[in-house]
Amino acid sequence: MKIEKVILKESEIVKVDGEFKQIFKNQKEVPCFLTNYSLKRGKDLGLLNGSLIADVMKLIPLTKLKSADDIDPETMRELDEIEMMKVIYVGCIGANKNLDLGFDEFVSLYHDSYEDTLILYTTLISGLIQKDPNQFAKGLKNSTKQHKKKYNPHKSKSNA
């Protein structure tokens, strides 16, 4: 698992020479990665509803793209930036148990572009399974077959 880096910073609007400009201050780098702990915290906080594995399988093709411009428009409609930020937040609180930020405060300090958010999100959830999704599917299929072989509902208890 690779540990990603998220930069959090405060945004302020100031007037310079009669024009408004956005400036950033109090920049802080925090590590970010998904763990069992972070996934549990995400569910406990109501931020994660379903399985991220389903998202991983859906987004595997995105890991091969060079930029957000290469994404099919239909796929783009399915990607919700707030949902992606929830996963990033969960990765940050999982990697930083003492990070005392609620989701709203996190979002107020998180200023990455949509493309950077998409890349980080894809990187985080792709790390939940092996790099080769075919190996993941094969392993899942094999483990299911093994369980079927071990359980025989027709075997009588009296024969044991």
What local confidence, expressed as pLDDT, does residue 72 receive?
Answer: 64
pLDDT in tens, 50-87: 666 666 556 655 655 555 566 666 666 667 889 889 99
d(CA 28, CA 99): 11
Q: Which amino acid is at 81?
A: E
Which residues, in sequence order, are bridge partners of residue 20? 15
pLDDT in tens, 95-133: 888 888 999 999 999 999 988 998 898 888 877 665 444
pTM (two decimals): 0.70
DSSP labels, 95-147: H-TT----HHHHHHHB---HHHHHHHHHHHHHTTS-S-HHHHHHHHHHHHHHH
Q: For residue 123, what are its two tokens?
A: 């990187």
Residue 115: closest CA among 65, 78, 51: 65
